[in-house]
Structure 1
């Protein structure tokens, strides 16, 4: 077995600092990552999956209802939880990861939105993502889902992908077959020269596209973006029907 087949990240960045406004009224008194799906919080679904994939450390950023989220995740034994404190200023995705870099370490790491869940197809999608990763040719690799069959997504798609997995953005007034699931691997070199303060990861991904170093693989299974109360109800229906099957 080659080294690329056995590699897995030591750390994951779990993005938990958002305001969760689209999930109101469920987020009136709790952060969105603590909304429950099938009896477990969204962030526990994510952290369970990360731990099962052999990732030992998770950095969680906190902002809205930060004390509640920090207390909740600190109860876990696996993975090890570290907190990146954004109580004073919400830093958006890119700024949040940049602030957390000292906790994430110097090796490539996983980035995982706290509202991204899925029903697995054959095997583990995170294992497939880890196996596909090649730091020599990639700055980032994304887990992508079919825009046509994903729950909670009604846009025109995000990316097109060539036969090698290299990504390009959807053009204006065009449709693209794939949507970003909020799960990716990132090399720390992406953040060299990154600004301090709030900014989006899109800025760094666009630079990777320009350099031909943004790649993707297709998720095997059913992806659910649980961003609204309606999507939460539908996700529970999907999971229940899969359990019955």
Structure 2
């Protein structure tokens, strides 16, 4: 089972408008705590936690000071999810790893625990946690994937990727570009039938845009 998690916190947060002019999106508050802290709560109990940073990286570093959580600072250029994960590998020091986006809020069972229980490394190179688009609160646009009866993911459909997964990191070393998306790996895994998915039964809110803040707070209030 993975004992390391990568939390993606390096993006510019341009969809947030004025809210991210002087701070990174992961430090935007939702229901009294930052998005980053909401995400970190989901990773409690995992021994090795790494957060990447680029935009206002110093604020991320300061926020995590004394926590024991490592920060992988990307400079001078941002590396996207694939490049960022590859840069952080010396800190993660294992494969497979969990990865988790920091611009979403969850209501329901612990997402990483669900992935852990469903992970089958003999058959899977990645296991992505997805939610039906009708329960993807704040989502703008359609779905990302469909799920076959065997649990494999194919492109296009009514399932939204939540930003939580387990992924093997071997293929990262085969990509020549410095900055690249994890979509590059997912496409290769899908071609070989080793990209798998799992449906999340709870609720999930996209907080990548300002409207998502109030939607997430309403979702959490209804969960009490």
**What corresponds to 2:104 in structure 1?**
116
What is the TM-score when the length of structure 1 is the normalising length?
0.88
Map 1:31-46; keep pairs closer than 5 Å: 31-46=24-39
Any conservation in 2 of the 1:95–1:195 contact (CA below 8 Å)?
Answer: no
| Aligned residue among 39, 43, 50 for 2:43 | 50
Unaligned runs of 5+ in 2: none
Residue 146 of structure 1 and its aligned partner are, at CA, apart by 0.8
SS of structure 1 residue aligned to 2:135: coil
State the alpha-carbon separation in 1 of the partners of residues 91 and 177 from structure 2: 16
- What root-mean-square deviation, in Å, do the aligned CA atoms of Structure 1 and Structure 2 show? 1.2
Map 1:9-158; keep pairs closer than 5 Å: 9-51=2-44, 54-76=45-67, 80-120=68-108, 123-158=109-144
Unaligned runs of 5+ in 1: 1-6, 171-175
State the alpha-carbon separation in 2 of the partners of residues 87 and 225 from structure 1: 27
Deviations 1:196-228 (A, max 9, x none): 411111111000000100001001210111011
Residue 194 of structure 1 and its aligned partner are, at CA, apart by 2.0
Deviations 1:66-93 (A, max 9, x none): 10111102243xxx31111113110011
Residue 229 of structure 1 and its aligned partner are, at CA, apart by 1.1
State the alpha-carbon separation in 2 of the partners of residues 91 and 235 from structure 1: 28
Any conservation in 1 of the 2:112–2:165 contact (CA below 8 Å)?
Answer: no
SS of structure 1 residue aligned to 2:72: strand
SS of structure 2 residue aligned to 1:24: helix
Any conservation in 1 of the 2:107–2:203 contact (CA below 8 Å)?
Answer: yes
Any conservation in 2 of the 1:107–1:187 contact (CA below 8 Å)?
Answer: yes
Map 1:215-226; keep pairs closer than 5 Å: 215-226=196-207
| Aligned residue among 121, 146, 152 for 1:160 | 146
Q: Which runs of 4+ in 1 moved over 3 A?
A: none
State the alpha-carbon separation in 2 of the partners of residues 75 and 234 from structure 1: 32
State the alpha-carbon separation in 1 of the partners of residues 36 and 60 from structure 2: 9
**What corresponds to 1:207 in structure 2?**
188
Give the number of equivalent residue pairs.
Answer: 224
